[in-house]
Structure 1
């Protein structure tokens, strides 16, 4: 269904003309003619709604790219709408889909693509790709396509994609005598955290119970979140315990602080930028924002691979773009044109420069603009180089609930040191397997 859209310029023109002198009938006729033309032009546009997550520079990037798209052509108009976190976008999309008023294009955090596809809420993009000779799916970075496929079909395409990075206050590191090259292993990471910690309330790292980070730790320990078939969890293992105990033992030692509650992630970032923690684990999507803050605060910010355990592994993250199902052919084609635009080479370069997210296309990654950025600001290249260690995220029905169950048990273990790691992980596994099965 097409919605009426009238540009503010058109409205201003009409009001200006109506207020001008001259013959009343002539002016009224001219105003009416312009109004009719504007309405006719507006109804020729296909209206789309696009929902996105996160604010600050990430939100600005989304709004800026949508404006670019609207100005690039005169057949489609997209309204961008901020919806909160990824969880907020997902729950609101599900509710809107059930109510019959879902956005035509939205974001899926990569672990949720299969859930949305299996429940019939998003459209397979394979037919659009196959029928569009100008679209080169091979140009996407292969390490970022793992969470795009469901049953052999492409349901989502990489957009604002990330890996977690280790951020370090290099100025503070120099003050306490640490090598600014950063820690490469778990043991070095613990040593750095000890050196940053002092009696005045500063700790080595502030880190919430974030399962994305735990996915990295367990993979580095040689384990996995799920078995190979995806039929039950595998985190209640020796490797899973080693990953959690890295976290838990540092908290016990006082070199790591664990904020809790809904704002835990924001609290960790504030601890870091305010000098209350020397290190931070966060998405590469936070890079541009953190570099701006570091400049304001007067310290040098460096980025690093995640410290490795038995292996060097890191999960990818971020959002893929999806088209909701049930659209008529006109809106499907319009949604496809918008999705193509948002992840074209030029927009990919812009988004990466503006936010710090990974360039999802090889052509963008190898462009003169990105290479110049990496030369000027090597912090932006760390996540790209880290892709050699990247893995996708689990995509099984119920995984978001699994994540919440495990996070709750891990938080309980941080707060109550008398609980054993083995018992905590087994309790979480028993609950989680009930969800998956």
Structure 2
């Protein structure tokens, strides 16, 4: 009941703020499939089943979504999908919640993986278990490390689509110029050595890295910890692995080896520093690989990728989005939505999306396809995230986790830029988080 109250309170606030934005976003989406052409389907009707698909992020990711939807529409004459861009994951989630409350939600949308449980537990998405069983989908073909955020209370609510892990990007040309192995650091100690060697006062730093909770989850995992218990009832980030991670970041920043940008443009700043030679290393999602490789080629330097460095062991959270079906659809719309989700997550489309964007292929059959083998042979940087999945873990799906991460990020930033100990900052965040969980 407490979980439902939290989400529904947020939902009612969101409806008033965002409902008008839903309509304007739909009008401005610019999708190739803004209206369905009349066509005779296999039942002899002139009316196609029309469904809407909402997605997040622009650039290559937007192109990938629009391309796939166009391919789906051209692959058959019974269902027409209209693709609509909705901004960031936060924008997408808020608009979907508002549209659901207003009764005009898209039939298919993306859930950022940590939000799958929130949407399912509050009745906004449909269980996919009956559809998977009906079509005898081989669920073992989906890579195990990417399935942790697909099930809620034992039922399948989402299928992996554009999935990622953070990986370490390296300016290999710069590393070689400084006598460093372009394969990159393997441990935290080596990571610090690389950062020190690459730092030139007032010219560049070893790495520019914003305080991102996704990265924090990774560093905590590398020390054998996690940010919440398995039940999602208590936070654990204030324990020794969390303290060790923040202490390491603070030491790198104070030594001048790591730049910590802040504000809404922090991620963009980190990328700009890397591609413009103001930092030698860059930590971000594998989803950015295609774009970074293209920019590096234009600027004349070579990019390598490698695992995030290990402390006690390697460890990374997974990220990205799963596809979900909204609840309350009639049988015809459900069937159409399922056909689209099934097609989008099939082997061929998974391989296409991975090659086009850099996101992970979510099916073993895609990894082993000739298309992906050829890509990995030509551009081995794409293979790193796939191999790193051996050490992957799901993200927490507690209802309050999105709000907890904001508190946690603020407290970690406070210890980096102010004279606050990591222990005090994390304990403060844990106290605030406990109240949110209750």
Residue in structure 2 matched with residue 274 of structure 1 by the alignment: 276
Structure 1: any 5+ residue segments left out of the alignment?
11-35
Alignment counterpart, residue 260 of structure 2, candidates 242, 251, 258: 258
Following superposition, the deviation at residue 37 of structure 1 comes to 8.6
Alignment counterpart, residue 288 of structure 1, candidates 287, 290, 294: 290
Tell me, what secondary structure is at the counterpart of 1:147?
coil
CA distance in 1, matches of 2:61, 2:53: 14
CA distance in 2, matches of 1:153, 1:231: 20
CA distance in 1, matches of 2:129, 2:171: 44
Residue in structure 2 matched with residue 14 of structure 1 by the alignment: none
CA distance in 2, matches of 1:263, 1:43: 48
CA distance in 1, matches of 2:34, 2:394: 41
Say whether residues 1:423 and 2:417 are aligned partners. Answer: no
Name the CA shift for 1:42/1:199 in 2 (closer, same or farther; >3 Å).
farther
Contact 1:269–1:280 under 8 Å retained in 2: yes
Following superposition, the deviation at residue 266 of structure 1 comes to 1.3
The total of aligned residue pairs comes to: 405
Name the CA shift for 1:78/1:315 in 2 (closer, same or farther; >3 Å).
same
Tell me, what secondary structure is at the counterpart of 1:296?
helix
Following superposition, the deviation at residue 43 of structure 1 comes to 5.5
CA distance in 2, matches of 1:412, 1:37: 62
CA distance in 1, matches of 2:186, 2:331: 52
Contact 1:4–1:42 under 8 Å retained in 2: no
Contact 1:159–1:320 under 8 Å retained in 2: yes
Contact 1:5–1:42 under 8 Å retained in 2: no
**Runs of 4+ with deviation above 4 angstroms:** 40-43
What pairs with 1:143-162 in structure 2 (closer than 5 Å)? 143-162=145-164
Alignment counterpart, residue 398 of structure 1, candidates 397, 400, 406: 400
Say whether residues 1:115 and 2:111 are aligned partners. Answer: no
CA distance in 2, matches of 1:228, 1:319: 21
Following superposition, the deviation at residue 200 of structure 1 comes to 3.2
TM-score, length of structure 2 as denominator length? 0.90
Residue in structure 2 matched with residue 215 of structure 1 by the alignment: 217
Following superposition, the deviation at residue 5 of structure 1 comes to 3.8
Contact 1:148–1:158 under 8 Å retained in 2: yes
Residue in structure 1 matched with residue 350 of structure 2 by the alignment: 348
What pairs with 1:11-410 in structure 2 (closer than 5 Å)? 44-133=47-136, 135-410=137-412
CA distance in 1, matches of 2:395, 2:283: 18
Tell me, what secondary structure is at the counterpart of 2:149?
helix
Residue in structure 1 matched with residue 8 of structure 2 by the alignment: none
Name the CA shift for 1:401/1:412 in 2 (closer, same or farther; >3 Å).
same
Following superposition, the deviation at residue 86 of structure 1 comes to 1.1
Residue in structure 2 matched with residue 17 of structure 1 by the alignment: none
Following superposition, the deviation at residue 359 of structure 1 comes to 0.8
Tell me, what secondary structure is at the counterpart of 1:311?
coil
Contact 2:40–2:46 under 8 Å retained in 1: no
Contact 1:248–1:414 under 8 Å retained in 2: yes
Tell me, what secondary structure is at the counterpart of 1:234?
coil
CA distance in 2, matches of 1:6, 1:354: 26
CA distance in 2, matches of 1:189, 1:252: 15
Tell me, what secondary structure is at the counterpart of 1:400?
helix
CA distance in 2, matches of 1:427, 1:43: 62
Residue in structure 2 matched with residue 413 of structure 1 by the alignment: 415
CA distance in 2, matches of 1:254, 1:202: 10
Name the CA shift for 1:424/1:56 in 2 (closer, same or farther; >3 Å).
same
Name the CA shift for 1:112/1:72 in 2 (closer, same or farther; >3 Å).
same
CA distance in 2, matches of 1:290, 1:306: 17
Following superposition, the deviation at residue 201 of structure 1 comes to 2.6
Structure 2: any 5+ residue segments left out of the alignment?
1-32
Q: Which structure's CA Rg is the greater one?
A: 1
Contact 2:53–2:82 under 8 Å retained in 1: yes
CA distance in 2, matches of 1:43, 1:99: 29
CA distance in 2, matches of 1:390, 1:414: 27
Tell me, what secondary structure is at the counterpart of 1:146?
coil
Aligned-residue CA RMSD (Å): 1.8
Following superposition, the deviation at residue 41 of structure 1 comes to 8.9
Contact 2:109–2:326 under 8 Å retained in 1: yes
Tell me, what secondary structure is at the counterpart of 1:174?
helix
CA distance in 2, matches of 1:242, 1:37: 63
CA distance in 2, matches of 1:126, 1:64: 28
Tell me, what secondary structure is at the counterpart of 2:135?
coil
Contact 2:171–2:301 under 8 Å retained in 1: yes
Tell me, what secondary structure is at the counterpart of 2:207?
strand
